[in-house]
Chain A
Amino acid sequence: MTLTPAELTSAVSGGIGTSPQRPDGNLKVRGEFAYASDLWHEDMIWGATLRSPHPYARIVSVDLTEALKVPGVYAVLTHSDVPGRNLYGLEHKDQPVLAVDVVRYQGEPIALVGADHPETALRAMKKIAVVYDVLEPVVDMETAVDDTPLHPGGNLVRHVPIRRGSQDITADVVVTGRYEVGMQDQAFLGPESGLAVPATDGSVDLYIATQWLHVDRDQVASALGLPVEKVRLTLSGVGGAFGGREDLSMQVHACLLALHTGKPVKMVYNREESFYGHVHRHPAVLYYEHGADHTGKLVYVRTRMYLDGGAYASSTPAVVANAATLGVGPYEVDNVTVDAYGVYTNNPPCGAMRGFGAVQAGFAYESQMDKLAEALGMSPVDVRVRNAMTEGSVMPTGQVVDSAAPVAQLLKLVQDKPLPAGTSTDIRELPGGVSNTTHGEGVVRGVGYAVGIKNICFSEGYDDYSTARVRVSMVQNELAAAVHTAACEVGQGLVTIMQQIVRTELGIERVTVLPMDTTIGNGGSTSASRQTYVTGGAVKAACALVRDKLAGRTDIGDEVIDETTEWRHRATEALDPETGQGNAHVQYGFAAHRAVVDVDVDLGLVRVVALDCAQDVGRALNPQAVLGQIQGGSAQGLGLAVMEEIQTSGGKVRNPSFTDYLIPTVLDMPPMSIDVLELADPHAPYGIRGVGEPPTISSTPAIVAAIRAATGLALTRVPVRPEHLTGT
């Protein structure tokens, strides 16, 4: 028996604008959906990874002798067993598949074991003798550039400057601040897993949970020294992603073991290893200065920000560009100075996470807007509305926002919602809950607002496209369609959206989603809130080709209509390296939140009582899924506001478990009232606007603003911890 990804059909149909059931829903509730960690193959063995315990060290020697003697061990591999290029990476190829003579972060892979049982593999791994010469790690992002160089080109990954308008203009009212954002983890529930199956011709099949099959394939083939056609990837069930699966984890490792042993190899990280096995959200330090006139109109914004990329570049260059270009928020500002730096350190590598650079900037600029409101004696909403961007506004990059930007409207929508009743007397609804820490004494309430901006799709001139194939034939005397892409379903519901698009475009009810794999062209990444836009656009375009051939027929006999096409969104431009000017982004998304919190000031406990949101989605192709994205994205923002941080000390992770890294539970997440606007973007398929990321930007600063309003504390760092509130 081999558990492999299945074709998906569903009993409940519906075109765009409706909310049909997910075609994988029944399998998922029955426990029968095949996630990567569920895969099984006759005769398979298990892989394990030896990782560095040190954030920075020279490798003096590696002795495999004792590990190889463990009964049940098939192979122990090091960098010398990597047949191709031992370096990979999304934007810079700077990360070794297996470390050679230096390790740059705690958790860096050094050796692989293949064995008959996961426990055998772990025991053998512990018998690998590595001698390290431990070095002093570089851990401070603000001074890293002048510290010990960790890579040949030094520790600066990218500097993005933006210069717009006057660089020395003055203003009546000036507020400054220094803000910090802790390292957040994607904390997807399905751990990194995959199954590599070797073939007799030296090629390999990899079943994998990922966000981008083709870029994985290209990196795996390069490391294996194989032509890309000898590396075939199929998407397995993916247990969430949120950016954490954009980079390789065990893809090359499993294939190496499989090709070396000639056996199928399964690798599954446990939760602790998962914390070491993927990149995180960049921690950041951000300095801001806002100048405004007495009416509250912004005169200038100046910012210098540092984003800690950790040991390897991953997507740091693009994250830095987002933080910079979106760095003043959804506001009109004529005079802007931005310097954003992404740096190497010996902290855990950081890369993509939902919000991608816009989250860090969003916490800082929204904190500044509240500070400015206070300095001006204005309300937080009024100062934002006074400066709100609209369609036709100009970004700090000079780009004109050429579709709806209803920033003021979103703020007013959340402002006008009814407020929840006063602080409850039911302990289940108080900070601390059934821990019974208060019956209301010491509890204060606050209300806070925030709004955010996020770019949708890939930017800076990247050739961002997707490929879709739609095949139509007769099944049981009616037309039936199959849709095939390499675009990764990670839980967001792309499988449902693709069915809806085919039904709407072709009027065919029976639509099957074929497994996603590399036998078809690139689907692009499931990130940047782009799949409904780009792969949705490709499916729509493929349907148009099929529709021409159908020519209105409802019976095509034995004919099979099979059309494949690539679809691109409109082109973007690179940023000018000196001034940061350029039409770098495709589309902008906006969301606003109002948060209401109760804070127990004696214990520093926070309960978010309400978290309401308004977001423009252009057009809701699937209203239920849109709400799901807004609710889920808001919850991750809540996590960053009050609980989620990978805490490091000297480059070492102190809390790699769900016992110590806390994510919101159902007790932490309040009910949400949500307004969805549908202001169509004329440039996008069906007018849609990417949905997944905008709610993650504004949720965090709205909650922190509410805590500030309740306590009067400055709170310049997220997550807000109890000791920040009690001063102990």
Chain B
Amino acid sequence: MRVNVTVNGEQRQADDVWEGESLLFMLRERLGLPGSKNACEQGECGSCTVYLDDVPVCACLVAAGQAQDRSVRTVEGLAQGDQLDPVQEAFVEAGAVQCGFCTPGLVVAAHDLLDRVPSPSDPEIREALAGNLCRCTGYEKILDAVRLAAARR
């Protein structure tokens, strides 16, 4: 089937999409946007978190066809050209990035949190990021990054 979808503000079209394909597969393999990651592909790790019409979802749990005529914003759509989003900037600065495989999902989840709650408390940050697994950092520097981004936004 053919899927028409707005991705990062651009009208995109994917052809020959198999009915069982996920939004994640379509983004990664058909639309050239591999930023959203494939760590578990069953909604447990959050590494594929994207905005679907402004709501963060696990792209692995959304069928590609469900994105028809809707708007998707991925980690690739957060920066303005060379200018990183403050959340992205804070992740690099705070040392919240090691292997970085969880980073795209965490950046989108933290971006969403700060849109909703500009100055979150630590328990609020933990609750908001509880669906994103990271295996490298022990999360301390991810918390630092979100606090830093909140202070700057």
Contacts and interface: CB of A to CB of B under 8 A. Distances in A.
A240 B138 contact: no
Contacts of B134: 189, 666
B136 A32 contact: no
Nearest to B28: A38
Interface stretch (A16-24, A93-101, A450-458): A16-24
A31 interface: yes
B44 to A, nearest CB: 4
Nearest to B140: A631
B40 A658 contact: yes
Interface string A651-673: 00000011100011111010110
A270 B41 contact: yes
A25 B76 contact: no
B126 A667 contact: yes
Interface residues of A, dominant DSSP: loop
B88 A187 contact: no
A625 interface: yes
B72 to A, nearest CB: 13
A189 B18 contact: no
B42 interface: yes
Nearest to A117: B18
Contacts of B95: 19, 624-625, 627-628
Contacts of A191: 38-39
Interface in B91-113: 91-93, 95, 97-104, 107
A523 B140 CA distance: 31
Given A628-B136, A632-B137, A658-B45, A188 B99 contact: yes
A268 interface: yes
Interface residues of A, number: 65
A439 interface: no
Contacts of A30: 35, 75-76, 78-79, 84, 88
Given A119-B18, A631-B141, A663 B136 contact: no
Contact of B127 (A119, A186, A428, A490): A428
A86 to B, nearest CB: 30
A246 to B, nearest CB: 16
A627 B28 CA distance: 33
A493 interface: yes
Contacts of B44: 657-659
Given A239-B99, A627-B141, A666 B40 contact: no
B129 to A, nearest CB: 5
A169 interface: no
Interface in A597-632: 624-625, 627-628, 631-632
Contacts of A40: 29, 32, 34
A667 B18 contact: no
A559 interface: no
A367 interface: no
Given A631-B140, A631-B141, A29 B135 contact: no
A50 interface: no
Contact of A666 (B32, B104, B130): B130
B9 interface: no
A31 B131 CA distance: 19
B139 A238 contact: no
Given A30-B79, A32-B76, A189-B102, A271 B39 contact: yes
A384 to B, nearest CB: 24
Contacts of A657: 40, 42, 44
B98 A628 contact: yes
B69 to A, nearest CB: 24
Interface-centre pick from A25, A241, A625, A672 (highest chain B CB count, 10 A): A25
B137 A628 contact: yes
Given A30-B76, A119-B18, A631-B141, A492 B98 contact: yes
Contact of A271 (B40, B78, B129, B137): B40
Contacts of B38: 37, 191, 268, 270
Interface in A225-239: 237-239
A189 B133 contact: yes
A29 B84 contact: yes
Interface-centre pick from A28, A34, A240, A664 (highest chain B CB count, 10 A): A28
A158 B140 CA distance: 40
Contacts of A429: 123
Interface of A: 1, 3, 19, 21-22, 24-26, 28-35, 37-38, 40, 117, 119, 186-191, 237-242, 268, 270-271, 426, 428-429, 434, 490-493, 624-625, 627-628, 631-636, 657-659, 663-667, 669, 671-672
4 nearest A-B residue pairs (beta carbon): A31-B35, A491-B99, A239-B101, A631-B138
16 contacts: A31-B74, A35-B101, A40-B32, A242-B135, A490-B99, A492-B98, A628-B136, A632-B137, A636-B135, A657-B40, A657-B42, A659-B44, A665-B132, A665-B133, A666-B134, A666-B139
Given A31-B74, A37-B38, A658-B40, 19 more contacts: A29-B84, A30-B88, A37-B37, A38-B34, A191-B38, A239-B100, A239-B101, A270-B41, A271-B40, A429-B123, A491-B99, A632-B136, A632-B137, A633-B138, A635-B137, A658-B42, A665-B130, A666-B142, A667-B130
